[in-house]
Each structure stands twice: as C-alpha cells, then as structure tokens.
Amino acid sequence: MRIGFMMKFDKERVEFAKRIGFKSCELKVSPDDEFFPGKPDWESKAKEVAEYYKENGIRISCLAGFYVNHFDPEKEEEYKKLVRDVIILAEKMGVGVVAGFSGRIVGAPLEDSLPKFKEIWSEHAKFAENHGIKIAFEHCPMGKFHTPCGGINCMCTPEMWEKGFNEVNSEAIGLEWDPSHLICQFIDPVITIREFGERIYHVHAKDAHVNRDILAKYGIWYPGAIEHCFPGFGDTDWNLCIKELVRKGYKGDLNIEGWHDMVYRDTEDRKLEDTGLIIAFKYLSQFVVQD
C-alpha cells in the first residue's frame, strides 16, 4: 500500500510528490490530454507518461476519468465512449483501475436508476473484463449538503451498492471508497469495509468533520454543519479503516483528494493546499509502510 494524491499530469506536481515522499497518484485524465485515445500518436505518449511516473518511483494506482452523469440522455453515447476510452488508456498505461460516477436519474428515488444502471454498466463491465480492468465507482452523492438529494450518482449509499452489484453480476465493478461521503451521511466507514471490502478497488483518502455545535443549533441542512477535510482533521478512524482494508486483502493505494478542505484549500500559489497534503501524508504514514 502506498500514499498518493489526485493530480493531472504535471511534471512539477510529480517533483513535489517525490520530494515529500508520496509513492502513488490517482491520475486525472480527460479527452483534452495529449495522451488520451483519439489524439495524434496517443499510444506512444501514454507510454511516455506512464514511464515518467515509474522513473520517479510513483505508481499510478487509478485513472480518474468519468465523473459525469452517464444517464444524461443528451450525452449518453458521448459518455459511453468516454468510459471505453478511459479503459483502453488504462490498459495501455498498465493501470488496473479506472474511476468515476455511476450516473443517476436526477430527481427520482435512487432505486429508479437501477434499470438504467444495469443497462449501461453491464455493457461497460463486459468491456472492462475483456481488457483486464476494474471499474471503481466513487460514491459521492453529489447532492445538496453532501446528501443524495438532487445528486447525479445513484451508487452513493451502501444499500445502493448492494443493489447495484446484484443488478450487474460482474466483479469488474466495485468501489472507489471514500469515508468522507459516509461521515456526511452518518454512516460508520469501518462497517462498510467489513461488508464490502472485497469490492473496494481504490481508496480516496478524504475525510469529513461534523460540527456538532452547528448541527445541534441549525440541523444538517445548514452550510458548515458538515465539512470535508484532509485526513487527520476529520472524524474517520483511519487506523481502524486501514487495518480493515488490509484484513480484507486490499492491494491498492490511498490517494488524497485534497482541495475540498475549507482551510487548507486551493490558493493561487497552492501553498495552503500543499501544506494540507503534507500534513495528511504525515498523518496517514503512521498506519502505512509504503511498499
């Protein structure tokens, strides 16, 4: 297991990661990248990017490529091609996992999305199987106040994970597990690992903190009642979570998704966010011996 963070391909960020001691990354990719399928000479460029990370001792543990609503009827075919292209790119780069959202029929109960989920992701699962790639769904609800209300991602609760896995009978699909989204729904992250650990294919190291004073005074539907943050500043028992991941045989990495922190967040010169990344790296390093 290694510790890393999400990034676009950027040699400066690779140098920063190497300097701090990160040995992993989740690489964000899009059709705009010069090494994306369909671009001129993309295959050789993709191999060059993969080799650059390898030379710097950083493992690309996952390609983050399709955080969209796949059920949007106006873009469904475009997004189908996007998923296939990300899978093809992962195979070319020697990366075993791709990640994104599942999609959702917006405004309807979560269960109403299951027929469409089965239709789309059965096709993608078969494609992924044929290319030796795992698909990991991030379970961010994408709704108001970190809840499923109005979101674009039906695979956002443990109940929907179970139903979704039952609908698409393929081990090619699993989870990009992120405890922050569970904390925001008052779900114990450790319990979800114990139940779904075999389907966790990638981990977002992001946390959340419930501000109990605001919650008690105003309730959950109030800005700031719950906020996302770097590991070490939130409510997740990372020691127990990492132990349970190991118990379940998780072979992947922990990749920090950092720009959501309300204090250590994006600035023009990145100093605060980088400080947060360094603090989170030191915190998680208590529980991880990087291989």
Tens of pLDDT along 54-81? Answer: 999 999 999 999 999 999 999 999 999 9
Residue 289, domain member (yes or no): no
Residue 290, domain member (yes or no): no
Task: Reply yes or no on whether the pLDDT at 116 is more than 80.
Answer: yes
Instruction: Provide the pLDDT for residue 259.
Output: 83
Task: Reply yes or no on whether the pLDDT at 269 is more than 80.
Answer: no
Residue 146, domain member (yes or no): yes
Instruction: Provide the pLDDT for residue 271.
Output: 87
Confidence of residue 244 (pLDDT cuts 50, 70, 90): very high
Residue 7, domain member (yes or no): yes
Task: Reply yes or no on whether the pLDDT at 266 is more than 90.
Answer: no
User: Distance between terminal CA atoms of the chain?
Assistant: 6
Mean pLDDT of the chain: 96
Confidence of residue 281 (pLDDT cuts 50, 70, 90): very high
Identify the CA nearest to 101 among candidates 62, 77, 145, 135. 135
Q: Percentage of the chain with pLDDT > 90?
A: 95
Residue 291, domain member (yes or no): no
Residue 232, domain member (yes or no): yes
Confidence of residue 258 (pLDDT cuts 50, 70, 90): confident
Task: Reply yes or no on whether the pLDDT at 268 is more than 80.
Answer: no
CATH value at residue 246? 3.20.20.150
Range of the domain at 278: 3-284
Task: Reply yes or no on whether the pLDDT at 155 is more than 90.
Answer: yes
**pTM above the 0.85 mark?**
yes
Residue 83, domain member (yes or no): yes
Residue 49, domain member (yes or no): yes
Task: Reply yes or no on whether the pLDDT at 92 is more than 80.
Answer: yes
Q: What is the tally of structural domains in the chain? A: 1
Mean pLDDT of 36-41: 98
Mean pLDDT of 143-159: 94
Q: Are 291 and 2 in contact, with CB atoms under 8 Å apart?
A: yes
Indicate the range of 4-18, 23-37, 105-119, 266-280 predicted with least confidence.
266-280
Confidence of residue 44 (pLDDT cuts 50, 70, 90): very high
